[in-house]
Amino acid sequence: MKIAQFVDEELTRFYGVGAFYRIHTIDDLIGHLIVGLAPHTSVGIIGRVIGFINSQVCLGSPIWHSAKRRDCDGDADSVMLLMDIFLNFSREYLPDRIGGLMDAPLLIQPLVFPHEVQRQAHNIDIDDTYPLDFYRSSWNLEKTTNVIDNIDIVKKRLGQANQFFDYKFTHTTDNIMLDESHSLYSILSTMEEKLKMQISTAKLINAVDADEVMSMVLTTHILPDIMGNLRAYSSQSFRCTKCGQKYRRMPIVGRCLECNNELTQTVTRGTVEKYVQTALNICSEFKINEYLTNRINTLQTELSLLFKQNVKDQHTIIDFI
Ligand SMILES: [Zn+2]
């Protein structure tokens, strides 16, 4: 509401034209166009406000969420009023670093073609009942591909008019609000806390194999994180803490060439090592396959070579005898 009022004030007072939103209550925003934008994507997707919910969550069509590159996993997301972007977006305001460009609506997609979004959205079931055969098949642990023929999913409607509407559901409710108004993901602050919660949840669910979950966490998050930071560390630049001058390599004098101040690293040892212990703990507590365990151990060896435990000022030839 505040942004809508700001936009109206901008239009009338700054541009000298008529107000656009003219809202008095929050419900006056219903029907207006918004732009959904997920972090690090740069492409905003147009949507329309159809209501509000008292939770820190944005409910929308799976097609819309998928177009934003969100897979409904409770990660960060944002919406903006379209008129706000038309009036106030400019490349002139953006920071010149790549990070500043990543969270800005550089492009806006007005229409989404359902066949162009991610596969996950196509696999959402939109039937109002599951046939008895489905339950029998699930009891016999049959493959999903064997039972999907009897259930309506988004994929089957692609190219037809009802690919956009008439999505059904199996259970009615008079309230789609959740008991929790915030996702734990946004409350837990450290990676360790989030991981601990993920482990305890995985252990509670019979259908989830906690060892497999931890292997995935290692493969998709922790290992790439350590390797990425290791690469960043060894190719890092140096910065002057006083005048801010940056150096691609450490100058031979070892100090700032502008003001003779000491230089500091832009990537620290702590950044590289922060998840190593977590990775080692996971390997000892869970059944992680040998290949993955070896990769972690190799990384640890690599790090111990990079960061000498007892730093000596200068090696002498005697050290190597
Ligand atoms: Zn300096």
pLDDT in tens, 129-161: 999 988 999 899 898 888 888 899 999 999 999
Ligand 1 centroid to residue 267 C-alpha, Å: 18
Q: What is the 3-state secondary structure (H, E, C) of 190-232?
A: CHHHHHHHHHHHHHHCCCCCHHHHHHHHHHHHHHHHHHHHHHH
| Distance from Cα 63 to the centre of ligand 1, integer Å | 51
Q: What separation in Å is there between the alpha carbon of 53 and the centre of ligand 1? A: 51
Q: Are 133 and 159 in contact (CB under 8 A)?
A: no
What's the 152 CA to ligand 1 centre distance in angstroms? 65
15 DSSP assignment: S
Answer positive or negative: Cα dihedral of 289, 290, 295, 298. Answer: positive
Cα of 96 from ligand 1 centre, angstroms: 21
Expressed in angstroms and rounded, the spacing between residue 256 Cα and the centre of ligand 1 is: 5
Question: Is residue 312's pLDDT more than 70?
Answer: no
Residue 77: per-residue pLDDT: 85
Does residue 73 have a pLDDT over 70? Answer: no
Helix (H, G, I), strand (E, B) or coil at 213: helix
Q: How far apart are CA 76 and CA 142, in angstroms?
A: 35
Calculate mean pLDDT across residues 273-294.
92
Ligand 1 centroid from CA 198, angstroms? 45
Which helix (H) or strand (E) is 240 found in, with range? strand 238-240
Q: What is the pLDDT of residue 114?
A: 92
Residue 63 pLDDT grade (very low, low, confident, very high; cuts 50, 70, 90):
very high
Query: Considering only CA atoms, which of 264, 261, 238 is closest in space to residue 249?
Result: 238
Is 266 within 8 Å of 210 (Cβ atoms)?
no
| C-alpha 259 chain-centroid distance | 40
Residue 232 CA to ligand 1 centre (angstroms): 22
DSSP 257: T
CA 248 / ligand 1 centre spacing (Å): 14
Measured in Å, residue 243 CA sits from the centre of ligand 1 at: 4
Which secondary-structure segment (H or E) carries 184? helix 184-187
Q: What is the pLDDT of residues 173-215, one digit of tens each?
A: 888 877 778 877 778 888 888 888 988 999 899 989 999 999 9
Ligand 1 centroid from CA 268, angstroms: 19
- Other C-beta atoms closer than 10 Å to the C-beta of 106 total 15
CA of 239 to the centre of ligand 1 (A): 8
pLDDT above 80: residue 122: yes
As a whole number of angstroms, the distance between CA 102 and CA 35 comes to 15
pLDDT band at 42 (very low <50, low <70, confident <90, very high): confident
Tell how far the Cα of 101 is from the centroid of ligand 1, in angstroms. 28
Distance 263 CA to ligand 1 centre (A): 8
The rounded distance, in Å, linking the Cα atoms of 297 and 288 is 12
CA of 307 to the centre of ligand 1 (A): 26
Helix axes 210-217, 191-204, angle to 10 degrees: 150
Question: Could you tell me which of 21, 3, 19, 2 has the C-alpha nearest to residue 11?
Answer: 19
CA of 226 to the centre of ligand 1 (A): 30
Give the strand pairing for 43-48 and 107-109. Answer: parallel
Of all residues in the chain, the percent with pLDDT exceeding 70 is 95
